[in-house]
Structure 1
Amino acid sequence: MFTGLSAFPLTPIPGNGSVDEKAYAALVQRLAAGGVDSIGALGSTGSYAYLTREERARVVGLAVEHADGVPVIVGIGALRTRHVLQAAEDAQNAGASGVLLAPMSYQPLTDEDVFGLFEEVTANLSVPLVIYDNPRTTHFTFTDELYTRLACLPQVASIKIPALPADPAEARARVEYLRQLLPETVTVGISGDAAAARGLNAGCDAWYSVLGGTFPEAALALTRAAQAGRHEQADQQSKRLQPLWDLFVQHGGSLRVIAAAATHLGLTAHHNLPLPLRGLNAKEQAHLATVIERLQLHT
């Protein structure tokens, strides 16, 4: 479950409304039919931080119901440990196969704060957990020492790491070093879509993918090439997608771009981000549409 392509779909939230359940169910069905290895519900692309407990529980239920047996990994991050535990309980009750936890914060967190969070959460879990290291959104940076301590907790099954060094040899050395620190039962997954080929080619077990949540065919092509040892092909797939990676950088991350892409493909309504988040303007949307068509990502 914590290998291959884990695809993270958008959670469409029209303006100040509730989740568009019909559109979300269709997104999940599309991923299951596309052959992804797991589905990441309520990741950063899934806007988990903007939803109430009830909304999150409903989204998890929809994901499990429409995943057609594909494992569903659910984001359970929240500011308070109490709320993380509630999200974990709801995810398990809905039939999630695993959970993913990023240490959200308003006040800066220490290593001991984060260890305590994971220690309490894993003690109350019956499903595996992915440690989500996402310093861009959480403003917390994991140390290798903290990785090592956390990986020994019960239920920890994978670590979702940020981008690796650009040099292939350095990237592979980094992954090999992490493997020396971690138990054999804990997989290493890459995030940051532009760095996915680099990570998979360096030996990462999984790609926790934003792209895969909307363009599963393209993400699977890259993933399967890397898994088969066709590293140059995986690199070429990533280079082909460079115009999309550039848009992610230009717009401060992938969320707004992916939201606009879902609209362009007719997968969601035009307004699909929770306010106060605003999507791309008309000119930006037109440019994205051109990129999608040029890259033949419309299917």
Structure 2
Amino acid sequence: MFTGLSAFPLTPMNEQRIMEHEFARLVAHLAEAGVGSIGVLGSTGSYAYLSRDERARVVQLSVENAVSTPVIVGIGALRTRDVLANAERAQQAGASGVLLAPVSYQKLTDDEVFDLYATVCQSLSVPLCVYDNPGTTHFEFSDELHGRIAQLPQVRSIKIPPVNNDIEPAKERVAGLRKLIPADVTIGISGDAVAATGLNAGCDAWYSVIGGLYPRAALAITRAAQAGDVQQAKALSDALEPLWVLYREYGGSLRVAATIAEVTGKVSQPCLPQPLKTLQAGDRKRVEQVLEQLGLE
């Protein structure tokens, strides 16, 4: 479950409700494409903007439409009591695993983060992936802290931030972390633009935004890297450079992915929770031009 391509779909919504049929269609498409797992309620899934009941409904829809594909559910919240409640409802709905980021308004200490994971692991019957995402949580894990947390009984993967896009530093990063964690804990790369480098450097999984929209393109990169074809994986990723440029210029992947979903008719407009907005006017036209150039399916 924590290897290969884990595809993260959007949770399309307006200010009144989640667009359930659109979300179900996104999940079903990923299952049909044969992704290794489906990651819902991550940053791409806008989990921080949803109520506890809305999140529970998303999990239910995910499990129903994923069929036999494992569903990994984000359970992060500001308070530990809410994380525990999210975890319980995810497990009751049939989630195969959970994903936890140390979300907080006040900056957390290492001991506070460790205690969060230790507390949550005591209540879990499914495996957990540690979500290391300093861009949204503003908490930076040290490798030593990862090593401590990875000893907890339910921890089975670590989702690390983007690595250096040069292969040798990336290999050093992955190897350094690998030395500190148990052999049965996988390392997954996030950051679509450097995913091929991360996989070629020894990461076991790609936790992918673009995989939530174009799973076949992401699977091609993943499978090339898994087969040891370093050059093919890199070439397939390099071919998507116009898309990676959009990520860099528009502050990350969420707005770009949501705009793609809207302009291709995968979701209705608007699809992001306010005050977030998809790209408009000339910026939107630029996304359309990149899609036409790449011919993604």
Q: Please, what TM-score do these two structures have when normalized by structure 1?
A: 0.98
Unaligned runs of 5+ in 2: none
Displacement of 1:178 in angstroms is: 1.6
Counterpart of 1:4, as a letter, is G
Partner Cα separation in structure 2 for residue 200 and residue 61 of structure 1: 31
Partner Cα separation in structure 2 for residue 109 and residue 176 of structure 1: 27
Where 2:179 maps in the other structure, the secondary structure is: helix
- 2:235 alignment partner in structure 1: 236
- 1:211 alignment partner in structure 2: 210
Displacement of 1:164 in angstroms is: 1.6
Where 2:295 maps in the other structure, the secondary structure is: coil
- 1:154 alignment partner in structure 2: 153
Listed one character per residue, the Cα deviations across residues 49-103 of structure 1 (whole Å, up to 9, x for unaligned) are: 0000000000000000000110000000000001000100010000000000000
Displacement of 1:10 in angstroms is: 0.2
Superposed, 1:1-299 pairs within 5 Å as 1-14=1-14, 16-297=15-296, 299=297
Listed one character per residue, the Cα deviations across residues 217-271 of structure 1 (whole Å, up to 9, x for unaligned) are: 1111111110111111111111111111111111111111100101122110021
Partner Cα separation in structure 2 for residue 52 and residue 177 of structure 1: 38
Counterpart of 1:229, as a letter, is G
Identity of aligned residues (%): 61
Partner Cα separation in structure 2 for residue 166 and residue 37 of structure 1: 24
Counterpart of 1:41, as a letter, is V
Displacement of 1:119 in angstroms is: 0.6
Partner Cα separation in structure 2 for residue 285 and residue 33 of structure 1: 29
Structure 1 stretches of at least 4 aligned residues deviating more than 6 Å after TM superposition: none
Quick check: 175-184 or 266-275, which moved more? 175-184
Partner Cα separation in structure 1 for residue 127 and residue 281 of structure 2: 42
Where 1:181 maps in the other structure, the secondary structure is: coil
Partner Cα separation in structure 2 for residue 90 and residue 282 of structure 1: 40
Where 1:57 maps in the other structure, the secondary structure is: helix
Partner Cα separation in structure 2 for residue 285 and residue 222 of structure 1: 26
Where 1:39 maps in the other structure, the secondary structure is: strand
Displacement of 1:171 in angstroms is: 1.2
Displacement of 1:286 in angstroms is: 1.3
Partner Cα separation in structure 2 for residue 255 and residue 174 of structure 1: 26
Partner Cα separation in structure 1 for residue 249 and residue 144 of structure 2: 34
Partner Cα separation in structure 1 for residue 21 and residue 52 of structure 2: 19
Counterpart of 1:261, as a letter, is I
Displacement of 1:167 in angstroms is: 2.5
Displacement of 1:296 in angstroms is: 0.8
Partner Cα separation in structure 1 for residue 276 and residue 76 of structure 2: 19
Listed one character per residue, the Cα deviations across residues 91-144 of structure 1 (whole Å, up to 9, x for unaligned) are: 000000000000011110110110010010001100000000000011000001
Structure 1 vs Structure 2 CA RMSD: 0.8
Where 2:67 maps in the other structure, the secondary structure is: coil
Where 2:177 maps in the other structure, the secondary structure is: helix
